[in-house]
Amino acid sequence: MEVVTGTTEYFKGIGQIKFEGPGSDNPLAFRWYDENRVVAGKPLKEWLRFACSYWHSFNGNGSDPFGGPTHLFAWDQKADVLDRAKDKMDAAFEFITKMSLPFYCFHDVDLVDYGNDVAENERRLDAITGYALEKQQASGVKLLWGTANLFSHRRYMNGAATNPDFRVVTHAGAQVKAALDATIKLGGENYVFWGGREGYMSLLNTNMKKEQEHLARFLHLSRDYARKQGFKGVFFIEPKPCEPTKHQYDYDAATVIGFLRQYDLLNDFKLNIEVNHATLAGHTFQHELQVAADTGLLGSIDANRGDYQNGWDTDQFPNNLNELTETMLIILEAGGFGGGGINFDAKIRRNSTDPADLFHAHIGGMDSFARALITADAILQKSDYLELRKARYASFEAGAGKDFAAGKLNLEALRDLALEGEPETISGRQEYYENIINRFI
C-alpha cells in the first residue's frame, strides 16, 4: 500500500510500519502481522480484515466526564467546516496507509460536523465523501462499514428509531438515509446499526413493545431503501446491554438473534460483536462469538478490551493473547467473518498524547490478533483439541444416544435406558484444554 498524505504531513517522523518478525526490537514494526503470510489457506490480511475507526482515532480528543480535551489535533484548526473535515481526512488516510490498514469505518458525524439543517447535513456528507472517494482510489483503502450516529444529538435523548415522538424518528430516518447513501457511494461492504439510545432509562415511562416494533419497522425501511439503491452488503446489529441507556434493546447476541427472527430480518442482518459490550453483558467475548457463529450470524467484530476492575466501556486496545487465541479458535472454526472484519473500536488513553501512541496502539492490536490467529491455527492443526471435544460427545454417535439425537426416543425410553445403572464419571479436563492454549502461544 502507498502512503497517502495531504499537503501537510501530520505524523512526521513515522514512516510506513513494516513487518520485521518476532526478533525485531523496533517498537514501530510488526512482529507477527505479516499481511501476506498464509494461514489456513488464506493470507493474514484476508482473515483479519483490519479496520481503523475514524471516531476514536481522529475525533476522540481524550475528554472524559471529569475533564476536557487532552488530544489537541493539528487537523482540527480551520474555521470552515469542510476545510477542517478535509484536513482530518488527510490525517486519517496518512495514518491508515502508514499502518497498511486495509479498511476504515465511520459514523456520518465523524467525517464532517453536522448541524440541525437536514439538507445542509446531506450536502456536507456528500462533499466530504467525494473527497473520501479520491483518497480511497489513491490508496486502495476500503470502507468496511458506515453507520449513523443516532445517539449524540440532544434530540435522541429518548431514543432514535424507538423515540416516543415520531418527529424524532423522522430525523433518525433522514440521517440513516444519508449515511446509507454515503456508504453505498464509497463502496462500503457493510452497514452497522448500534442502538446506543434504543432502550430505556425507566420502564415507568416506556412502552417497550411499541418501541421494539418501531425499531423493527425502522430496520425494514432502511434495508428496503439500501437494497433499492443497489446495496449488496450485510447489515450488522451491534449488541450492547447498556450505556448510555440503562437497558439497551440489543442487549446481547442471543437477544438480537431472537429479535431478528421475530421481525423477519434474518436474511439481511448479521451481528457485529464487540469485546467490551460482551463483558458488560456478563458474558465473555468468546461466548458472544460462539452464539453468533452457531446461528451462522457472525458478521464482524469490534476489537477492544475492558478493564477487569471497571464496569464501563473503557475501549482499550486488545492485548490479551490468551483470550484472543480462544477468540480466533471460534472465528477459524466458523470459517471467518460473514462479510466483516476486525474494526479497532478502541481508543488511546486520555494521557497518551504523543502522535506515536496511536501507532503503538494499532501495532499492538494487529500483532496480538495475528499471533492469536497463527496460534489458533496451530492448535487446530497440531493438537488433540478438536478430537478431545468431539470425543466428549461420542455417546451420541451410535446406539441409543444417536437415536435420541435423531428424535427417535421418547421420555419413557430414556427412563428404561437409565435402568442400566449409574454412569461412570467422565472428566471435563478443563485444565488440560487451558494448557493447550498456553502450550501453543
Please, are residues 85 and 111 in contact by the beta-carbon 8 Å criterion?
yes
* 302 in contact with ligand XUL (CB under 6 A): yes
Between 100 and 147, name the residue whose CB sits nearer to Co ion: 147
C-alpha cell of 387? 478430537
Instruction: From 276, 277, 274, 348, select the one nearest 305 (Cα to Cα).
Output: 276
C-alpha cell of 411? 421420555
Give residue 164's identity as a one-letter amino acid code. Answer: P
| Among 110, 189, 211, 238, interactor with ligand XUL by CB under 6 A | 238
Shortest reach from residue 179's CB to ligand XUL, in Å = 11
Q: How many CA atoms lie within 13 A of 411 on its CB side?
A: 0
Candidates 73-81, 165-173, 298-306, 313-321: pick the segment binding Co ion (CB under 5 A): 298-306
Residues 6+ apart with CB under 8 A from 385: 329, 379, 433, 436
Shortest reach from residue 209's CB to ligand XUL, in Å = 25
Please, are residues 18 and 1 in contact by the beta-carbon 8 Å criterion?
no
Between 32 and 114, name the residue whose CB sits nearer to ligand XUL: 114
**Among all residues, whose Cβ is closest to ligand XUL?**
194
211 binds, among ligand XUL, Co ion, none (CB under 5 to 8 A by kind): none
Please, are residues 342 and 49 in contact by the beta-carbon 8 Å criterion?
yes
* 274 in contact with ligand XUL (CB under 6 A): yes
Shortest reach from residue 243's CB to ligand XUL, in Å = 7
Shortest reach from residue 87's CB to ligand XUL, in Å = 23
C-alpha distance from residue 49 to each of 43, 245, 247 (Å): 10, 31, 31
Shortest reach from residue 90's CB to ligand XUL, in Å = 23
**What is the x/- site pattern for ligand XUL, positions 138-177, by CB under 6 A?**
---------x------------------------------
Task: Measure the CA–CA gap between 180 and 122, rounded to whole angstroms.
Answer: 11
Restricting to residues 330-369, name those near Co ion by CB under 5 A. Answer: 345
Q: How many CA atoms lie within 13 A of 28 on its CB side?
A: 13
Residues 6+ apart with CB under 8 A from 218: 161, 169, 172, 173, 176
Restricting to residues 177-206, name those near ligand XUL by CB under 6 A. Answer: 192, 194
Residues 6+ apart with CB under 8 A from 397: none
CA 86 from chain centre, in angstroms, equals: 26
Restricting to residues 340-359, name those near ligand XUL by CB under 6 A. Answer: 345
Q: Strand 42-43 to strand 38-39: parallel, antiparallel, or no bridges (unpaired)? A: antiparallel
Beta bridge partners of 191: 146, 235
Shortest reach from residue 127's CB to ligand XUL, in Å = 22
189 binds, among ligand XUL, Co ion, none (CB under 5 to 8 A by kind): none
Active site positions, annotated: 107, 110
Restricting to residues 358-397, name those near ligand XUL by CB under 6 A. Answer: none
Residues 6+ apart with CB under 8 A from 99: 17, 52, 359, 362, 363, 366
Candidates 272-280, 347-355, 362-370, 414-422: pick the segment binding Co ion (CB under 5 A): 272-280
Residues 6+ apart with CB under 8 A from 287: 278
Shortest reach from residue 335's CB to ligand XUL, in Å = 24
Between 139 and 279, name the residue whose CB sits nearer to Co ion: 279
Between 4 and 237, name the residue whose CB sits nearer to ligand XUL: 237
* 240 in contact with ligand XUL (CB under 6 A): yes
* 252 in contact with Co ion (CB under 5 A): no
* 211 in contact with Co ion (CB under 5 A): no
* 302 in contact with Co ion (CB under 5 A): yes
Binding site for Co ion (CB under 5 A): 274, 302, 345
* Residues within the interface to ligand XUL (CB under 6 A): 107, 147, 192, 194, 238, 240, 274, 302, 313, 345
